[in-house]
Amino acid sequence: MIAKKTSKNQLTLPKAIVKQFPDIEYFKVQVKGRMIVLTPVRITPETRTLEEIRDKMEKLGITEKDVDEAIRWSRRKAG
């Protein structure tokens, strides 16, 4: 499939592609070599409460210990 860049540097994605991502409104855009890569993303509303975040972490099996370890790991990498 081909997508044409307009004079305003916009692309229209082919309908057949968009149908595969019915609930996606945003895409992360990256350049890899000579390719443009679009990755579907979901934007989390700023109004999400701490309780909702904790519920999601519990559903994903992420513990407080996991978070502490991730913070320690990222601080080691940054330093």
Q: What is the pLDDT of residues 3-47, one digit of tens each?
A: 999 999 999 999 999 999 998 999 999 999 999 999 999 887 777
Is 78's pLDDT higher than 70? no
What pLDDT score does 79 carry?
Answer: 57
Is 77's pLDDT higher than 80? no
CA–CA separation, 70 and 78 (whole Å): 12
CA–CA separation, 71 and 52 (whole Å): 21
63 confidence band (pLDDT: 50, 70, 90): very high
Q: What secondary structure letter does DSSP report for 42? A: -
| Of residues 52, 22, 21, the one with CA closest to residue 39 | 21
3-state secondary structure of 62: coil
The domain locations on the chain are 1-43, 45-79
Biggest alpha carbon distance in the chain?
A: 51
Owner of token pair 């502490």: 68
